[in-house]
Amino acid sequence: MYKSHEETFGRKPDFRVTYKIYSQEEGGRHGWTFQGIRWDFLYEHPEHKKGELFIIHPEFEDSNGKLITDSQLPIPRYGMARMWVINNKFIDYHRGKIKIGTHGYFMEGNRKVGECEVIELINLK
């Protein structure tokens, strides 16, 4: 059973996104994606260096908006996810930079494996 970041960190997620995980043919990952994956996050902002990645991890929701807690269940290619700035020191850095409508990417190294759009600010308000 997956332990949520909300339980681990004792706070709410920083923001929510709609996402699309790329297929292998689109340059995405080989194999399934599961809850607990630790992808980095890329989004553009004038203060960032080109290609700068951030340790902001997704937690995927089911079609009813509930957190998927079965870490053996493959994640759907399309859906919504809660996003977590893992290091609390960087929450203020991202506040004001990440906004509703911000477009970002899930990253495995320097490879984009999915894309997303911010739909709700929670802890970054």
Rounded to two decimals, the pTM is 0.95
**In-domain check, residue 17:** yes
**In-domain check, residue 123:** no
Residue 42 confidence (pLDDT): 98
User: DSSP character for 91?
Assistant: H
Residue 76 confidence (pLDDT): 94
Over the stretch 63-96, which tens digit does the pLDDT of each residue have?
999 999 999 989 999 999 999 999 999 999 999 9
**In-domain check, residue 11:** yes
Q: Mean of the pLDDT values across residues 2-13?
A: 95
From the list 22, 119, 9, 7, the residue with the least C-alpha distance to 67 is 7
CA atoms within 13 A on the CB side of 109: 4
Over the stretch 17-74, which tens digit does the pLDDT of each residue have?
999 999 999 999 888 899 999 999 999 999 999 999 999 999 999 999 999 999 998 9
Q: Mean of the pLDDT values across residues 93-107?
A: 97
**In-domain check, residue 120:** no
Supply the range of the domain harboring residue 30. Answer: 5-115
Number of structural domains, the chain?
1
What does the alpha-carbon distance between residue 40 and residue 52 come to, in Å, rounded to a whole number?
10
What does the alpha-carbon distance between residue 21 and residue 29 come to, in Å, rounded to a whole number?
9
Residue 18 confidence (pLDDT): 98
Token digits for 48? Answer: 């960032």
